[in-house]
Amino acid sequence: MHDAATVSKPRESREPIRARKPAFPFGSDIPRHWFAASPFATHMANGLNLLFPLGERFFIRSVRRYMSHVEDDPRLRADVRGFIAQEVRHGLEHERFFEVLEGQGYRIEPFLEAYERIAFGFIERVAPEKLGLAVTVALEHFTATMAEAALSKPFLDHAHPVMRDLLRWHAAEEIEHKAVAFDVLRRVDDSYALRIAGLVVATATLMPFWFAAAGYLMRQDRDVSLRALLRDRRRIRQAEDSDRADLKKAFLDYLRRDFHPDDHDNAGLAKTYLAANPGTSSV
């Protein structure tokens, strides 16, 4: 049984999922260490930024190949289209930020090429298609968890305003479509073993790629020594501990056989943020 206060409205009663086209003014005024003036926090955030565009395209491929399974459900079919439109826009906006990183002197193409070759040229190619969808479902759960933190905790208040707006807009839309891939998977194959296999693969790939991306950027930051990075990491340890606790809780929650992303109602966070930021108007 779930606490009634934590269960969100049925999908049929919620507002349609719509893509938005924000205009983030990425420019040279974004400092090299834009997150709380912290080299370590900035490189961790930039590392995740590097993963987003190719990752979003993987999510789209994983869901789109099963469109035939939702043809008899007009609402879910519309949700899938909204999910795809939002993910396309997320990838494009994060790629626009790549120009900022390159302007700051970072070489990102070698990492992106290796990431694409290993994650999508090999792992995705050899994995069963259903497993790819299950991995997408698990990663959508992780991103929704991080999205809730981005909208409910104050840590992004310490980010550069443009980056803060980028990450909170992305977070709000992640919450809006958090259940779409899950609902598609249930129609394709409602196997608990498949869902958990997706969680295992998602966990085993996300963290290594994320840390590799952040480390790749750290090694290029000639303004900061390794000793300074380690000292900076200790400075923000408390926030890291909170993030790890959130992800651990999300991981354990996902292990429930009766889990559904809508069990935890955080849609109000997204609605409040989007209503207060009219610049994120619908396409």
pTM: 0.90
Q: Please give the Cα distance from 185 to 191 (Å, whole number).
A: 9
Q: Please give the Cα distance from 181 to 137 (Å, whole number).
A: 5
How many of the other CB atoms lie within 10 Å of CB of 213?
23
Give the tens place of pLDDT for each residue, 14-52: 678 999 999 899 998 999 999 989 999 999 999 999 999
Sketch out the chain's domains with CATH numbers: 36-276 (1.10.620)
Which residue carries 């709380």 as its tokens? Answer: 36
Helices assigned H by DSSP within 71-222: 74-103, 109-115, 124-126, 129-152, 161-176, 180-188, 192-220
As a whole number, mean pLDDT of residues 229-256 equals: 76
pLDDT of 156 > 90? The answer is yes
Residue type present at position 62: S
Contacts of 196 (CB under 8 A, 6+ apart): 255
Is residue 25 classed as helix, strand or coil in its secondary structure?
Answer: coil
Confidence (pLDDT) at 231: 75
Confidence (pLDDT) at 222: 83
Q: Please give the Cα distance from 38 to 32 (Å, whole number).
A: 10
Residue 123 has what DSSP assignment?
A: I
Contacts of 11 (CB under 8 A, 6+ apart): 75, 76, 79, 179, 183, 262
Residue type present at position 120: F
For residue 242, name the pLDDT band (cuts at 50, 70, 90). Answer: low
Q: Please give the Cα distance from 136 to 126 (Å, whole number).
A: 16
Residue count of the chain: 283
Give the tens place of pLDDT for each residue, 137-148: 999 999 999 999
CA dihedral 22, 60, 268, 144 (to 10 degrees): -110
Mean pLDDT of the chain: 90
For residue 10, name the pLDDT band (cuts at 50, 70, 90). Answer: low
